[in-house]
């Protein structure tokens, strides 16, 4: 009993700020952010602007001179910058907490073909990592399962919720297909397993083809007895669900897109896209959008331009390919999403184009642009305010964040620990000086 009492006492003594902040209260009164520079997200910039929102929806976005403050609680943000909340696609945030602890990992299911697996039901809204992501302006993510050939269904969530049901913005919106990488024998390096690996790949593709054909028949037949796997795939044939094709090499991109088209898949989004700039004509002809994951990675080949990953967003923009940026599946790296967009600025994109690549472009590709992605009247009040340029790590300093009009608590464990030890060593330094 004494040990239990000691344990309870320890829990009660833990500072509240070290815990995951509680979700914000629903917006109770209209708010007007006044005096900042507004970056709409669609390329428009308005100096000395105002943004008003009520009941979670944006009611005004324009020059400060045109805003009536009569019914609003005015928040003075003069000299600051207002942006739409950033969106991170293709992530396992909330599905894994500590990579070295198996019990905290819930990113994949056993087996190769799992189209019916729903990633969102494993989403942990109490993850310690989520508040650290919000602090840099990321307010929404696409939960993506991993592993196997067909990993399962992704869902889009906002990052301020009590549970996964409350977090959902768009549930089960797409199927993720990891295209089997082409196998090329190396002339001077014999591989006794090459024939076996090639046969296994061909078998995987035949299984995949058969499942998609069965799903098309299932959709047309509308049987009384539900088949969960085939039912999950059915939406690919009428465009109600997207196929997210994960591929990097040019040969795999061409092969994967052609395969999906032959099976009757309507909406295809390329994820990864390391060689996307080598096949831009093909992507444009087939109306393929790209979620590019490689800005801060090395080139695919030794003889590639060392700056190619940095320049790829600009080259995609020049080619007219709709694209968004993501920071791959690294849960801790997601906080750097605005900075990979900043890197793209240094290599050709304008600042507003780069902003769109992590806001409105992403919302369009994910099918949620009618609700978020830009600061426009009628959309959800998913808004961030920064003291400086959100894309520059030297000036990124988020002071306010709102999700559906609710003010988000920007405290997190890292900020708490920083203040804790900063105060400790400053106090010790003063004692030494005295």
pLDDT over 60 at 13, yes or no: no
Residue 10 falls inside a structural domain = no
278 and 347, same domain (yes or no) = yes
102 and 79, same domain (yes or no) = no
Contact indicator for 390, 398 with CB cutoff of 8 Å: yes
**Tokens standing for 161?**
């919720």
Confidence category of residue 241, pLDDT binned at 50, 70, 90: very high
Question: pLDDT value at position 362?
Answer: 98
Residue 424 falls inside a structural domain = no
The 10 Å Cβ neighbour count of residue 28 is 11
Q: Which domain holds residue 187?
A: 86-372
345 and 387, same domain (yes or no) = no
Question: pLDDT value at position 185?
Answer: 55
Cα–Cα separations (whole angstroms), residue 306 to 45, 295, 299, 337, 342: 33, 11, 6, 21, 18
DSSP labels for 286-317? TT-EEEE--TTS--SSTTS-TTHHHHHHHHHH
Q: What is the DSSP letter of 105?
A: B
Condensed to tens digits (0 to 9), the pLDDT of residues 244-296 reads 999 999 999 999 999 999 999 999 999 999 999 999 999 999 999 999 998 99
Give the chain's domain count. 2
pLDDT over 70 at 103, yes or no: yes
Residue 11 falls inside a structural domain = no
Q: Helices 337-346 and 308-319: crossing angle, nearest 10°?
A: 80
32 and 111, same domain (yes or no) = no
Half-sphere exposure of 84 (CA within 13 A, CB side): 34
Percent of the chain scored above 70 by pLDDT?
Answer: 94
345 and 293, same domain (yes or no) = yes
Condensed to tens digits (0 to 9), the pLDDT of residues 379-388 reads 999 999 999 9
**Tokens standing for 253?**
């991109």
205 and 323, same domain (yes or no) = yes
Residue 208 falls inside a structural domain = yes
Condensed to tens digits (0 to 9), the pLDDT of residues 293-348 reads 989 988 888 888 999 999 999 999 999 999 999 987 678 889 999 999 999 999 99
Can you tell me the distance from the alpha carbon of 240 to that of 221, in angstroms, rounded to the nearest whole number?
18
354 and 220, same domain (yes or no) = yes
380 and 359, same domain (yes or no) = no
Q: What is the mean pLDDT of residues 52-61?
A: 96
Q: Where are the alpha helices (DSSP H) in 290-412?
A: 308-319, 337-346, 351-356, 360-366
Residue 430 falls inside a structural domain = no
Question: pLDDT value at position 189?
Answer: 60
Domain CATH for 220: 3.20.20.140
Q: What is the mean pLDDT of residues 68-75?
A: 90
Confidence category of residue 405, pLDDT binned at 50, 70, 90: very high
């Amino acid at each position: 009993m004494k040990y239990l009492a000691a344990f309870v006492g320890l829990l009660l003594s833990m500072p509240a700020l070290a815990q995951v902040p509680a979700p914000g209260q629903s917006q109770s009164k209209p708010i007007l952010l006044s005096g900042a520079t507004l970056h709409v997200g669609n390329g428009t910039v308005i100096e000395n602007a105002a943004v008003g929102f009520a009941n979670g929806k944006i009611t005004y976005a324009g020059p400060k001179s045109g805003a009536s403050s009569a019914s609003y609680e005015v928040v003075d943000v003069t000299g600051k910058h207002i942006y739409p909340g950033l969106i991170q696609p293709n992530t396992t945030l909330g599905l894994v907490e500590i990579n070295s602890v198996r019990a905290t990992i819930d990113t994949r299911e056993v087996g190769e073909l799992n189209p019916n697996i729903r990633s969102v039901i494993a989403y942990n809204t109490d993850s310690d990592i989520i508040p650290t992501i919000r602090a840099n302006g990321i307010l929404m993510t696409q939960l993506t399962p991993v592993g196997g050939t067909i990993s399962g269904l992704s869902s889009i969530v906002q990052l301020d919720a009590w549970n996964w049901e409350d977090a959902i913005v768009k549930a089960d919106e797409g199927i993720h297909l990891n295209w089997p990488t082409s196998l090329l024998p190396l002339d001077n390096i014999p591989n006794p397993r090459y024939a076996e690996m090639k046969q296994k790949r061909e078998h995987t593709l035949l299984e995949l083809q058969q499942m998609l054909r069965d799903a098309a028949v299932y959709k047309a037949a509308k049987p009384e007895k539900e088949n969960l796997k085939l039912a999950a795939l059915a939406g690919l044939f009428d465009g109600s669900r997207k196929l997210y094709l994960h591929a990097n090499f040019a040969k795999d991109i061409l092969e994967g897109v052609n395969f999906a088209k032959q099976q009757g898949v309507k909406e295809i989004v390329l994820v990864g896209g390391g060689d996307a700039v080598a096949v831009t004509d093909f992507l444009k002809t087939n109306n393929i959008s790209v979620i590019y994951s490689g800005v801060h990675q090395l080139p695919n080949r030794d003889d590639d331009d060392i700056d190619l990953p940095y320049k790829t967003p600009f080259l995609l923009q020049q080619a007219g390919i709709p694209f968004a940026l993501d920071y791959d599946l690294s849960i801790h790296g997601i906080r750097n999403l605005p900075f990979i967009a900043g890197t793209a600025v240094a290599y050709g994109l304008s600042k507003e184009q780069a902003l769109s690549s992590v806001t409105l472009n992403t919302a369009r590709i994910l099918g949620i642009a009618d609700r978020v992605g830009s600061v426009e009247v009628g959309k959800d009040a998913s808004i961030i305010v920064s003291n400086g340029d959100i894309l520059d790590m030297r000036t990124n300093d988020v002071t306010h964040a709102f999700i559906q009009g609710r003010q988000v608590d920007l405290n997190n464990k890292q900020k708490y620990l920083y203040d804790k030890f900063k105060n400790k060593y400053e106090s010790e330094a003063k004692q030494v000086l005295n």
